[in-house]
Structure formats: C-alpha cells, structure tokens
C-alpha cells in the first residue's frame, strides 16, 4: 500500500513493516515511521486502552520512570516559572513531583483533563512525556506546543525513538496500538526547523526543544 503523505512533514512514504493487520510506513523526508490511519483505534477504544494503564502519580516507580524529565525541569527552571504537563493521562507523576516542590504547574489531557482554557496561556516549560508517539496529527500538535511556549521556553519530550538499525519487528514500542507516530533523531531536527525552535538536545529518551 504506502504512498501516504507523512502527517508530520507531508513527505512521501512507503510501506516499512506489516504487523498482523497493522501497516507502518516510512517517511523519506523526516525519517519517521508512522501507522497507517486505517489502523487507528477509535477514540472510545483509545480511551479504554489508556484506562488500563496503571498510572498512579504516587507510585515511586512511575516517578522514577519520568525523572529524566522532572530532573531537567528542576535544573532549568525555578518555582517562579510556570509549566504545563501536556498529555498527562489519568495521573501525572511529573505534576506530583514538581508541585510538591512548590512549582507552578498544570496539566492537560485530551481524554482526562480536557480544559481548553489551559491552552490559552503561555508557559516557560512544557513536559510531554510518553505522549508524542500518540499524535495522529503531529504537525498540528507541535505547532500548538510551540505557540504555548514563552520566548526561551523549553519543551521536554520523552519518547522511545525509531532507529533504522534496530530490529523493528522485535521493538516493543510499536506494539502498543495507540503508538501511531515514531520519531527518529532526524525528525526532531525537522521539527526544530519547521517550528522555529533554536536548539535541539537529545539525551537518552529525552528530547529538549528550546523556543
């Protein structure tokens, strides 16, 4: 099949991998891999899947998992700055850890904390942990995230990234039915250029984009 335009950069694509009925395509421009829209879950099925996640913000293991993001925010910003957890899910350990330390932070989630007025404000930093891979329209999502940042603000993305040298068939990350867009390191270079981020920093699973 293939031949769809990439939902991030509109580049041409070709079929990359078939997993059962699910088709993944590879973008020749931003070097991402994305799920064919025919294989998306319905919004109802997607929300039900998220409800099966055991996301307890009080869970120290969950807090440790997201600590690469929280530790960077703690190093880069103070309690005088304002932050947002974008795509926080049912409960946010990032929000929990930072607000316990006196940080001014709020959360937004399409299904569980959908308060559009939150997206009318500007923020010094935005955490987007294990969320970007769920973007069905990543171009629109990143355009919005960029607009939400104050000048010099930072967007912290935590996601496992696509590597063409990895055994894609054995990669657990692509098996989650709600993971629809898988970024390469090059994808984030394209995002920075497209949306006017001044710097891209990648360390492990964390990508930091500076406005």
What are the boundaries of each domain within the chain?
A: 49-172+186-210
Question: How far is C-alpha 199 from the geometric centre of its chain's CA atoms?
Answer: 17
Torsion of CA 141, 133, 163, 68, to 10 degrees: 100
- pLDDT on residue 164: 93
Distance CA 181, CA 6 (A): 10
Distance CA 132, CA 136 (A): 9
Query: Burial code of 37-66, b = ≥16 C-beta within 10 A, e = fewer?
Result: eeeeeeeeebeeebeeeebebeeeebbeeb
Distance CA 13, CA 83 (A): 36
User: Could you say which residues of the chain have pLDDT below 70?
Assistant: 1-2, 54
Q: Topology of 49-172+186-210 in CATH? A: Rossmann fold (3.40.50)
- pLDDT on residue 54: 64
Distance CA 135, CA 138 (A): 5
């Amino acid at each position: 099949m293939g031949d769809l335009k990439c939902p991030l950069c509109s580049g041409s694509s070709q079929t990359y991998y078939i997993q059962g009925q699910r088709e993944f395509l590879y973008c020749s421009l931003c070097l991402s891999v994305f799920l064919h829209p025919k294989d998306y879950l319905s919004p109802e099925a997607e929300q039900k899947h998220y409800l099966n996640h055991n996301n307890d913000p009080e869970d120290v293991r969950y807090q440790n998992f997201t600590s690469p993001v929280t530790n960077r925010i703690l190093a880069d910003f103070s309690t005088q700055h304002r932050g947002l957890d974008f795509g926080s899910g049912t409960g946010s350990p990032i929000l929990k850890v930072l607000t316990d330390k006196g940080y001014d932070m709020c959360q937004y989630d399409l299904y569980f904390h959908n308060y559009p007025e939150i997206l009318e404000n500007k923020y010094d930093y935005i955490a987007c942990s294990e969320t970007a891979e769920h973007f069905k329209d990543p171009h629109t999502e990143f355009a919005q995230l960029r607009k939400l940042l104050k000048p010099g603000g930072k967007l912290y993305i935590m996601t496992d990234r696509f590597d063409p040298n990895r055994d894609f068939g054995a990669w657990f990350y692509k098996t989650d039915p709600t993971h629809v867009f898988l970024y390469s390191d090059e994808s984030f270079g394209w995002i920075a250029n497209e949306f006017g981020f001044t710097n891209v920093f990648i360390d492990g699973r964390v990508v930091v984009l500076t406005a």
